[in-house]
Structure 1
Amino acid sequence: MSSIKVVSLSLLALAGMQSASAFADDGSYYVAGRVVAAEHKAREMADSARPGIGAFVPGKQDDKFTTGSFALGYKYNNGWRVEGEYTLPKTDTFTSGSTTFPLSNNVHYIEAQRLMANVYRDFAITDQVSLYGSVGIGIARLKSDGWQGTVARRYNVGRQDNLSWSLGAGVAYSPIDKLTLDLGYRYVDMGRTESGWNAFPNARSLQDEKMSANLVSSEIYLGGRYAF
């Protein structure tokens, strides 16, 4: 079953849960915005196709940045929340090299954006403070390209729509009615991405080189939710 089908079924299941509970739970919808401090890491870059290069040499394999996300959700009165969240696009730059061609590094650009279905469980500590855990599943849309040695030696563009998942935890504080502030952490796996084959002539006169990586993210976020 494709990733898109899995996510579609998951979203339908969440919608069904919400519809079934709406008659018995006087909950509330909310909108949310989050500022996200993220560190993307490119794992398994050594699996890139680059025959005849000697040993793989890792280069820059992480990228730290600040981005944002927006969400629409529903909070039940039994401690559960469900939401759909979109994370803004961000392009990372990673590098790698080889022992045979030390001056001909790969520069790998990966653009990532996500649409996730998240489920939260809140545990009240006081009337205003609660702890929560979260899980998410969704689609990560990845675009992968770059160059080798010089900018003129380009790789073709590769695109993937991957199944993405997340695990997280945080603390929430509600200073006034309808407004809640969140501070949380989550780990996100966005799956594997590959560039297209090399569009430049290599030493073997073949199209047998491409860049690949498994993209993951560690994120600390600060957000606000407003109920309506």
Structure 2
Amino acid sequence: MQISKSVPVLLLATSAMYMSQAIAAPADEEGYYGVARVISAERKARNMDSSARPGIGSFVSGDDSQKDMTGSIGVGYRFGNGWRVEGELTLPQSDTFTSGSTAFPASLNQHHIDSRRVMLNAYRDLRITEKLAIYGSAGLGLARLESKGWQGNESRRYGASTQTNLAWSVGAGVAYDVTDRLALDLGYRYVDMGDTESGWNNFANARGLQDEKMKANLISSEFSLGMRWAF
């Protein structure tokens, strides 16, 4: 009788141990996964004072940052040893940054930058518990930046110009395994998308010359909430 009563208990204990291992193990197993992220980004145009402008007056900074929500999708692969890699495509973004000159305080440059990027990211996961891990990341990729805009009013336009740059990123975060297939992560990363510049001015300036263009270095500070699903 005692043996017959012990058998169900042993079976339940063995089953629970097996299930806990099955839930925890896939986080470290080799295999592919898909990922989608919601991103809160602040993009900033640095070095706008390097823009070519008339040799009269001094540079005046304006609005050099933009904040909004965006996102990305990707496919990754876990190597089973704490390392994983992801290919990531971000949603296109459009930003407007302003600057001016002390000689023309009411005639601001409106620098429109359209950006998109594709990245290859590497991650190193350090497991804290069976379900919780912290990670560091680094990425390299390509950023396509298109610059255009106007000065003072929309009839005074700059030419449009497109650059494809090497982009890089570094970041860190925390991940939680909800199930054996689903993981959530919360992270931060810094992204540098390189330099961009518009074409020359297509309007007559104070000196009657085509000698003005807008320049900037575009970076992004990003907080993200991601969902990973193992195939």
Q: Tell me the TM-score normalised to structure 1 length.
A: 0.88
1:179 is aligned to 182
For 1:149-228, list aligned pairs within 5 A: 149-228=152-231
Contact kept? 1:53, 1:101, Cα under 8 Å? no
Q: CA RMSD in A?
A: 1.0
For 1:56-67, list aligned pairs within 5 A: 56-67=59-70
Q: Are 2:100 and 1:79 aligned? A: no
Helix, strand or coil at the partner of 1:176: coil
For 1:110-149, list aligned pairs within 5 A: 110-149=113-152
Helix, strand or coil at the partner of 1:103: strand
- Between the two proteins, the alignment pairs up a number of residues equal to 204
State the Cα distance separating 1:52 from its structure 2 match.
Answer: 2.2
Contact kept? 2:188, 2:224, Cα under 8 Å? yes
Helix, strand or coil at the partner of 2:106: coil
For structure 1, the 5+ residue unaligned runs are 1-24
State the Cα distance separating 1:192 from its structure 2 match.
Answer: 0.3
Instruction: Give aligned-pair identity as a percent.
Output: 62
- Give, in whole Å, the separation in 2 of the partners of 1:80 and 1:26: 10
Runs of 4 or more above 3 Å deviation: none
- Give, in whole Å, the separation in 2 of the partners of 1:178 and 1:76: 15
Q: Tell me the TM-score normalised to structure 2 length.
A: 0.87
- Give, in whole Å, the separation in 1 of the partners of 2:191 and 2:149: 24
1:104 is aligned to 107
Contact kept? 1:41, 1:217, Cα under 8 Å? yes
